[in-house]
Amino acid sequence: MNKAVRPSRPQTRRQRVEEKEQAIIAAARAVFGKNGFDKAKIAEIAKRAGVAEGTVYLYFENKNALLLAVATEFYDRLTHDAAEGIKSLPDTKSRLAFLARHHVERVAAEWPMLSTAMMPFKASDEYRQTEGYQLNRTYVEVFDQVIRDGINRGDIRTDVPLSVMRDIFYGGLEYGARTLRMRPDRADLDETVDQMMQILSVGMLVKPAAVDTDGGAADAVLDRLEKIATRLETTAATTD
């Protein structure tokens, strides 16, 4: 006997509104990616989202507001995936390597949209009060926590301010992401990130103690012990 299929629960008005908003943002991301911001048309975004052009303006005041929504959605995913990605990694070095690859890969893919969306904020004298700053600040907090944890583990040097490490880390990675985008046929993502991490990690990680592979250090210790023992024996003999 077949079980009766329970009818799906109808969406609430809030769910329908949120679903439509997400469809518009997804359509805008696709159109911005294909045409660039200046050539993107609200009419095309509406058509791709399956809504009337006027509906887009009910959700977003203008194309700039829509671009900010696309950037916000991108940063939300970027931050979430960065935080989730480091959870299962056992040490500071592997966490930093993951964050580096994650950043370069995502930023390289979305560079035209990000540069257009974030540049007006970064050029502002009140950058710290802008939405763009808050998005970026929330994202880099994942890196900051990795550094703090690394310091507690003894992996990260303490003589360089965290802010300097952050600027060098993400500044170098963003430049690398642009290079990858301009030279996709000549630059390999994994190789580029590995090479950049070799340089970046030197400035952040505590250098491990040198290992004497030829046994010289051990021989020196033994030599000193033998000399001490000889002096003790000589002293004992003289006393007797």
Residues 126-184: tens digit of each pLDDT: 888 888 889 999 999 999 999 999 999 999 999 999 999 999 999 999 888 888 877 75
Residues of the chain with CATH 1.10.10.60: 15-60
Q: What pLDDT does residue 119 have?
A: 80
CATH topology of domain 63-204: Tetracycline Repressor; domain 2 (1.10.357)
Residues of the chain with CATH 1.10.357.10: 63-204
CATH annotation of 15-60 = 1.10.10.60
Q: What pLDDT does residue 114 have?
A: 86
Tokens 């900010």 — which residue?
A: 68
Token reading at 156: 């990260």
Reported for 86-89, long-range contacts at CB under 8 A and 24+ positions apart, including other chains, are: 86/142, 86/146
Q: How many CB atoms lie within 10 A of CB 52?
A: 12
CA distance 69 to 49: 15
Residue 90 is given by DSSP the state -
Q: What angle do CA 179, 174, 68 make, to 5 degrees?
A: 115
Predicted TM-score (pTM) of this structure: 0.77
Reduced to 3 states (helix: H, G, I; strand: E, B; else coil), residue 5 is coil
Is the four-CA dihedral 82, 83, 87, 93 of positive or negative sign?
Answer: positive
